[in-house]
């Protein structure tokens, strides 16, 4: 049994990771300041004898003895990370410094949840880990993109200078149950709109692409990355290499929900990447046979089921 700290453990990915690591027989400490995370996501774990919940902000130092740290704390949806951009940068940068300092003191292994956003609006396609990216350092997404890039630099330098055992995963768009219905990400937005027969809001002309990964494939990838030999630090892309336009995604969701929604077009936000697709050769090679196994249609069905339940539960009793 390992003792594992998960920062951002009450968020979408973190709450799944808490369950996943408890199921594998570990002790889990979930740390969160509840900015975008919710107690409801982990409330069912509170009675678990090997689960602890700590309200804390990663911009402040935190002391604990653990074997491993998964550093996930950071809002991930554009509307949330742009809400208080300075805080977003502080969370990525000071959070990384505090967690790396902790890992150094207690000799824990630490994994950073980095992002495909480090590639910005990529002019290489698909994106390999060797690609340095194309990020606007003063644009509206920079608080997130540059914060995550700086965190990667901190990780690499704590490794080189202080021998901290680090792992960096670059996560591509991930979706699934427990996403917040109103957090503005495209999969949750489209599903909620379709289920309510409201217009599906496509930003721009809808030809921009993303690659969507189902949550269980990400959990498996992160866990296998943490288990690799110490000499392999990453960064490694973790995502599903299927690439879809936003129009294609909207049509798929309309089809799966049988919705009467129409598509409407809104302005494309500034610096919105035009295309994104991970090259996952390195993950395939290094992560002990890891491969995304949930296709988009299957993953969307499971996510639609979740949101259908959520919407029906919040209806007032008749």
Residues with catalytic annotation?
144
Cβ-based neighbours of 86, under 8 Å, separated by 6 or more? 143
- Phi/psi for 189 (5° steps) reads -55, -50
Does residue number 186 form part of the binding site for ligand UDP (CB under 6 A)?
yes
Pairing of the two strands 244-245 and 209-210:
antiparallel
Q: Compare residues 233 and 237 and give the one whose CB is closer to ligand UDP.
A: 237
As a whole number of angstroms, the distance between CA 186 and CA 172 comes to 13
* Shortest separation between residue 258's beta carbon and ligand NAD, angstroms: 26
Indicate the DSSP class of residue 2.
-
Q: Compare residues 41 and 165 and give the one whose CB is closer to ligand NAD.
A: 41
Q: Compare residues 11 and 78 and give the one whose CB is closer to ligand UDP.
A: 78
As a whole number of angstroms, the distance between CA 35 and CA 239 comes to 25
Q: Can you tell me which of 6, 14, 177, 214 binds ligand NAD, judged by CB under 6 A?
A: 14
As a whole number of angstroms, the distance between CA 237 and CA 280 comes to 6
Residue 97, Cα to own-chain centre: how many angstroms? Answer: 20
Does residue number 10 form part of the binding site for ligand NAD (CB under 6 A)?
yes
Task: Residue 8: name its binding partner from ligand UDP, ligand NAD, none (Cβ under 5 to 8 Å by kind).
Answer: ligand NAD
Task: Residue 91: name its binding partner from ligand UDP, ligand NAD, none (Cβ under 5 to 8 Å by kind).
Answer: ligand NAD
What is the gyration radius of the CA atoms in the chain, in angstroms?
A: 19
Chain residues 224-263 in contact with ligand UDP, contact rule CB under 6 A: 246
Does residue number 109 form part of the binding site for ligand UDP (CB under 6 A)?
no
- Phi/psi for 7 (5° steps) reads -85, 145
Among the listed ranges 154-162, 163-171, 199-207, 282-290, the one in contact with ligand UDP (CB under 6 A) is 199-207
Task: Residue 210: name its binding partner from ligand NAD, ligand UDP, none (Cβ under 5 to 8 Å by kind).
Answer: ligand UDP
Does residue number 235 form part of the binding site for ligand NAD (CB under 6 A)?
no
Q: Is 191 left (phi over 0), alpha (psi -120 to 50) or beta?
A: alpha
Q: Compare residues 46 and 266 and give the one whose CB is closer to ligand UDP.
A: 266
As a whole number of angstroms, the distance between CA 11 and CA 32 comes to 8
Site track 137-176 with ligand NAD (rule: CB under 6 A), x = hit = ----------------------------------x-xx--
Q: Are 111 and 70 in contact (CB under 8 A)?
A: yes
**Cα–Cα nearest to 112, from 134, 130, 132, 91:** 91
Does residue number 191 form part of the binding site for ligand UDP (CB under 6 A)?
no
Does residue number 6 form part of the binding site for ligand NAD (CB under 6 A)?
no
Does residue number 12 form part of the binding site for ligand NAD (CB under 6 A)?
yes
As a whole number of angstroms, the distance between CA 182 and CA 84 comes to 17
Cβ-based neighbours of 173, under 8 Å, separated by 6 or more? 116, 185, 186, 187, 210, 211, 212, 213, 239, 276
Chain residues 91-130 in contact with ligand NAD, contact rule CB under 6 A: 91, 95, 113, 115
- Phi/psi for 200 (5° steps) reads -85, 120
Binding residues (CB under 6 A) for ligand UDP: these are 78, 173, 185-186, 189, 201-203, 208, 210, 246, 269, 272
Binding residues (CB under 6 A) for ligand NAD: these are 7-8, 10-14, 32-37, 57-59, 72-76, 91, 95, 113, 115, 171, 173-174
């Amino acid at each position: 049994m390992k003792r594992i700290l998960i920062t951002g453990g009450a968020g979408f990915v973190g709450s799944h990771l808490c369950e996943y690591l408890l199921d594998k027989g570990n002790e889990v400490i979930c740390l969160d300041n509840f900015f975008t995370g919710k107690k409801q996501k982990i409330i069912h774990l509170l009675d678990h004898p090997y689960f602890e919940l700590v309200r804390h902000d990663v911009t402040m130092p935190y002391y604990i003895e653990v074997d491993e740290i998964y550093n996930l704390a950071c809002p991930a949806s554009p509307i949330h990370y742009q809400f208080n951009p300075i805080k977003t940068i502080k969370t990525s940068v000071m959070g990384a410094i505090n967690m790396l300092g902790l890992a150094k003191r207690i000799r824990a292994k630490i994994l950073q949840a980095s992002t495909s956003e480090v590639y910005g609006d990529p002019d290489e396609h698909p994106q390999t880990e060797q690609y340095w990216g194309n990020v606007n350092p003063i644009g509206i997404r920079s608080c997130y993109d540059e914060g995550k890039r700086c965190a990667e630099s901190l990780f690499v330098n704590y490794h080189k200078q202080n021998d901290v055992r680090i792992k960096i995963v670059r996560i591509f768009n991930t979706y699934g149950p427990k996403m917040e219905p109103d957090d503005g990400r495209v999969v949750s937005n489209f599903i909620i709109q379709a289920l309510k027969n409201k217009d599906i809001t496509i930003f721009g002309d809808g030809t921009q692409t993303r690659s969507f990964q189902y949550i269980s494939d990400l959990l498996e990838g992160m866990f296998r990355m943490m288990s690799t030999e110490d000499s392999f630090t990453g960064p490694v892309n973790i995502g599903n290499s299927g690439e879809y336009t936003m129009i294609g995604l909207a049509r798929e969701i309309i089809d799966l929900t049988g919705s009467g929604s129409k598509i409407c077009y809104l302005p494309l936000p500034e610096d919105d990447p035009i295309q994104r697709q991970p090259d996952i050769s390195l993950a395939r090679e290094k992560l002990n046979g890891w491969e995304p196994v949930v296709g988009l249609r299957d993953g969307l069905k499971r996510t639609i089921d979740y949101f259908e339940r959520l919407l029906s539960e919040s209806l007032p009793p008749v």
